[in-house]
Structures are given as structure tokens and as C-alpha cells.
């Protein structure tokens, strides 16, 4: 599954995040700042990446710097505790999933960005 997940285009994943957050009637404009916080990309770099064919795997694998507070992201996503994931790339994917899930659930941005 992980190999297939890494090959999805970033824009497909982003679109899924937008749909999830919008469905829960939360602020979709916070998705890009959350991604920037986690990855070290600027919001402009993320927007430009969304206009390319970059895959989720490449985007996260080549991120400038994973936020040092990412290790504070705890909990279960897709039935797995994110803090226990051993594959560094999969952990980045699940960190991002967890942050977007928290946004969709209405958690305050200050709490999401730890």
C-alpha cells in the first residue's frame, strides 16, 4: 500500500484534503499553512508544487525540513499510531494526514501546529 500511496500526485491528495475539510465545514484555507508548518516549504512553494506532477512521496521525501515539533503529533490514523511508524516517509505521510484530520474535526489551528 505504501508504494502506491507515495505515487499519488500531490494535487490529488490535496484535493482529497480539501474535500474532507470542506465536508466537515471547516476552513480549507488552513490546509496550505499546515502543510508548510510540517514540511518547511513556503506556502508559495506548495502552491507551485500543486501545479506540477510531483508525487506525494517525492514532495515529502524532499521537504526542506520536517518541523522539529512533528514528533509531538500523536494519535491514530488509519488504525496505526503515528508515533510508532518506523518508515520515515510513511510517518511524514501519516503526520500530514493526522494534522488534516484534526483540522477537519474543528481543532484550533494553535493546537494543530503544536
- What ranges do the domains of the chain cover? 2-112
Which are the contacts of 79, defined by CB distance < 8 A and separation ≥ 6? Answer: none
- What pLDDT is stored for residue 39 in this prediction? 98
| 16-73 per-position pLDDT tens digit | 999 999 999 999 999 999 999 999 999 999 999 999 999 999 999 999 999 999 999 9
Handedness of CA 41, 100, 70, 34 (dihedral sign): positive
Rounded to two decimals, the pTM is: 0.94
What CATH homologous superfamily does 2-112 map to?
uncharacterized protein sp1917 domain (1.10.8.290)
Amino acid at each position: 500500500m505504501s508504494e502506491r500511496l507515495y505515487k499519488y500526485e500531490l494535487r490529488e491528495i490535496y484535493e482529497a484534503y480539501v474535500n474532507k475539510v470542506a465536508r466537515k465545514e471547516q476552513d480549507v484555507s488552513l490546509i496550505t499553512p499546515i502543510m508548510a508548518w510540517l514540511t518547511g516549504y513556503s506556502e508559495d512553494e506548495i502552491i507551485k508544487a500543486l501545479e506540477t506532477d510531483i508525487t506525494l512521496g517525492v514532495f515529502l521525501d524532499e521537504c526542506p525540513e520536517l518541523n522539529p515539533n512533528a514528533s509531538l503529533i500523536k494519535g491514530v490514523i488509519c488504525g496505526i499510531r503515528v508515533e510508532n511508524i518506523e518508515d520515515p516517509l510513511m510517518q511524514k505521510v501519516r503526520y500530514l494526514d493526522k494534522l488534516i484530520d484534526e483540522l477537519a474535526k474543528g481543532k484550533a489551528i494553535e493546537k494543530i501546529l503544536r
